[in-house]
Chain A
């Protein structure tokens, strides 16, 4: 069974709110009702003891004169206007003499004159006992257990002359009825309050839970490959929730950056491994190859070969030269010292590639801000720039665009070459710098490999990106003491 606490906030917030509102409404209504009941009882006690005292005072002389009719008129007066609504109106009034016999009552048929109070039934007998106990006091209220009536008893006495007792009978039923009416009103008010508050609470709960649900959804998508971005403005407030949204956004950026870094590292490691393998193999091949070539050279000079053999030897020699070239291409050695890079070197590269570009009718944007010589090996930088530019010219559309920029950025030299034309897929870009690239339609596919190796050996970085319909290669080369 699903626990209520596992419910979605969409339901939990409004439900808790509703529970709180209903509980409050009930508590307030109930306390109002109880207050009302207490007030009513208090009112009854005050007004009845007032009535009792007034009547008792007025009744003294008629009782002394045995003027029964006058006494009857006096006790009938409070009952004159029978209004159903008035719980404070007595049900009956009885005047008793010293011997607790009825002198007169407002209901002579049921409480006839001269009858002893004890003869009027068990309840009146109990009442008589209570009156006898407390004779002589002030007005008092007698609430007999299990009785439907409330009795207010007042002695009729003046200056110590005790003539009898006045009993005012109130119906508890009337009190209860009035209480029920008050309770009904309080209940109705409570219901109205609920009718207003509950929809507001529901709306508020929905509003509050919506961003929470959204965030929970997005967080759930984090461990999947396609984490969903949160559009800015979906929650524009700077409260805790707003901070959570901000944190989520930052986490997403961090995650993407981490992924890209991992990818890049994997690539670099692969390329480094390939580089080590290639270099090792090149050395292994170069050593015997050098011996073979020397032997063939000796054979050509000193060998006495017939023309057919000589032709074969020449064939072998050409093949071996090709192997040496290829292996040499793989083995990029940047250690040989050449002169520093001069602005003229950049101009030379421009002069070299411009004819090729013109052949294809390309527009070349050239921007070079180099004004002094830099402690970078001029030949290597030239090779990098030529490789990249030739690739760009080759890849650009006919009558397209090739741009090159060379600039200084603090201790770095930045080269950037871009071209329009067909863009590479992410998969192609992942294997771009590997040797024998399948992308190379005519060369042996070692151009970018070599460029990469040179940049690595110079302690720089090379990256490629597709942006705005253009391919851009960026190279950063540090210069100075370290190189």
Chain B
């Protein structure tokens, strides 16, 4: 059996990504003797947006009045593991881990995209392919997924195949993970894969910043909505720390500096959110027997 899912747990393979430890100005907070807040960022969403991440971290430090460390891991599963091992205090993660490990994690905030706290999955094919109109036409083709923990880039297309009565493990001739939404767009643009599934939010953002890349792909179909990638907290985090970050995130939309950052993130803001948002995700997981 050649299913990558079986291997993703081998988190020791950081493969060049590892910790992204950005320098902190310890002199300011050293006196207060505050531990840096460690927040995981989703590589699937933030691939190659390191400047933006640095600016956002600075913003959070200024608002929280304490040092902040951003940690980006190549695989979502690594972030989840770090969260579970309490190496991280918070994480902006795909919705998948939250649904998986609901009991150990708390929802801090949910991003608003196009005014809604939800994303859609896009099915994309190379621009040269003007025949394909649905996922089912990609039978026995090479298909690119984002990450085993990605709803839009993995769970949703598999669920669709399940709905159509297809066995996902046999449907495609070959599937592979690229570990970021942007890389799926690239793999499809290059023709490495005949199709791919991505979070629509990332494709739309890329269409603004890198139209030459998205121009080499074509969106064939959009999925139903599912809960947007949430910011989650470790259960062990103190209530003060939890409220502080939640307050800052929710306040971004009311603060010009925060608004500028949100614009660069292609988001409208953050809302508290609730578990119901992820009902569809949980349902999909349940239907394909992955709970």
CB within 8 Å of B: which residues of A?
A: 61-62, 65-70, 72, 104, 108-109, 112-114
Chain A residue numbers with a CB within 8 Å of B254 are none
Chain B: interface size category: 10 to 19
A224 to B165, CA, bound (A): 122
Is the beta-carbon distance between A66 and B142 smaller than 8 angstroms?
Answer: no
Question: Closest CB-CB distance, B197 to chain A, in whole Å?
Answer: 14
A104 to B144, CA, bound (A): 13
Chain A residue numbers with a CB within 8 Å of B2 are 66
Of B7, B10, B15, B191, the contact of A70 (CB 8 Å cutoff) = B15
Instruction: Give B135-157 as 1s and 0s: 1 = Cβ < 8 Å from A's Cβ atoms.
Output: 00000001010000000000000
Chain B residue with the shortest CB-CB distance to A70: B15
Chain A residue with the shortest CB-CB distance to B144: A69
A166 to B10, CA, bound (A): 25
Is the beta-carbon distance between B178 and A113 smaller than 8 angstroms?
Answer: no
Of B13, B144, B174, B190, the contact of A65 (CB 8 Å cutoff) = B13
A200 to B174, CA, bound (A): 73
A67 to B148, CA, bound (A): 13
Is the beta-carbon distance between B7 and A61 smaller than 8 angstroms?
Answer: no
A104 to B192, CA, bound (A): 8
Total A-B pairs, Cβ < 8 A: 42
**Residue B179 at the A interface, CB < 8 A?**
yes
Taking A61-B13, A67-B176, A69-B178 as contacts, is the C-beta distance between A113 and B4 under 8 angstroms?
A: no
**Residue B288 at the A interface, CB < 8 A?**
no
A66 to B7, CA, bound (A): 9
**Residue B187 at the A interface, CB < 8 A?**
yes
Is the beta-carbon distance between A114 and B173 smaller than 8 angstroms?
Answer: yes
- Interface of chain B residues 162 through 178 with chain A (CB within 8 A): 173-174, 176-178
Chain A residue numbers with a CB within 8 Å of B179 are 69
Taking A66-B176, A67-B177, A69-B183 as contacts, is the C-beta distance between A113 and B7 under 8 angstroms?
A: no
CB within 8 Å of A: which residues of B?
A: 2, 4, 7, 10, 13, 15, 142, 144, 173-174, 176-179, 183, 187, 190-192
Chain B residue numbers with a CB within 8 Å of A70 are 15
Can you list 30 A-B contacts (CB < 8 A)?
A61-B13, A61-B15, A62-B15, A65-B4, A65-B13, A66-B2, A66-B4, A66-B7, A67-B4, A67-B176, A68-B174, A68-B176, A68-B192, A69-B176, A69-B178, A69-B183, A69-B187, A70-B15, A72-B187, A72-B190, A104-B192, A108-B191, A109-B191, A112-B191, A113-B142, A113-B174, A113-B192, A114-B142, A114-B173, A114-B174
Chain A residue with the shortest CB-CB distance to B10: A65
Given pairs A69-B144, A69-B177, A108-B192, 17 additional interface contacts (CB within 8 A): A61-B13, A65-B10, A65-B13, A66-B2, A66-B4, A66-B7, A66-B176, A67-B4, A67-B176, A68-B176, A68-B192, A69-B179, A69-B183, A70-B15, A109-B191, A112-B142, A113-B174
Question: Closest CB-CB distance, A94 to chain B, in whole Å?
Answer: 13
A114 to B172, CA, bound (A): 12
A168 to B176, CA, bound (A): 23
A245 to B226, CA, bound (A): 112
Chain B residue numbers with a CB within 8 Å of A113 are 142, 174, 192
Chain B residue numbers with a CB within 8 Å of A108 are 190-192
Of B13, B178, B183, B192, most A-chain CB atoms within 10 Å = B192
Chain B residue numbers with a CB within 8 Å of A66 are 2, 4, 7, 176
Chain B residue numbers with a CB within 8 Å of A72 are 187, 190, 192
Chain B residue numbers with a CB within 8 Å of A62 are 15
Chain A residue with the shortest CB-CB distance to B7: A65
A23 to B57, CA, bound (A): 73
Question: Closest CB-CB distance, A63 to chain B, in whole Å?
Answer: 12
Chain B residue with the shortest CB-CB distance to A71: B176
Chain B residue numbers with a CB within 8 Å of A61 are 13, 15
Chain B residue numbers with a CB within 8 Å of A114 are 142, 173-174
Question: Closest CB-CB distance, A366 to chain B, in whole Å?
Answer: 126
Chain A residue numbers with a CB within 8 Å of B173 are 114
Chain A residue with the shortest CB-CB distance to B173: A114
Chain B residue with the shortest CB-CB distance to A104: B192
Chain B residue with the shortest CB-CB distance to A105: B192
Question: Closest CB-CB distance, B142 to chain A, in whole Å?
Answer: 5
A109 to B192, CA, bound (A): 7
Chain A residue numbers with a CB within 8 Å of B13 are 61, 65
Chain A residue numbers with a CB within 8 Å of B7 are 65-66
Chain A residue numbers with a CB within 8 Å of B174 are 68, 113-114
Chain A residue with the shortest CB-CB distance to B3: A66
A108 to B174, CA, bound (A): 14
Question: Closest CB-CB distance, A264 to chain B, in whole Å?
Answer: 113
Chain B residue with the shortest CB-CB distance to A72: B192
Question: Closest CB-CB distance, A108 to chain B, in whole Å?
Answer: 4
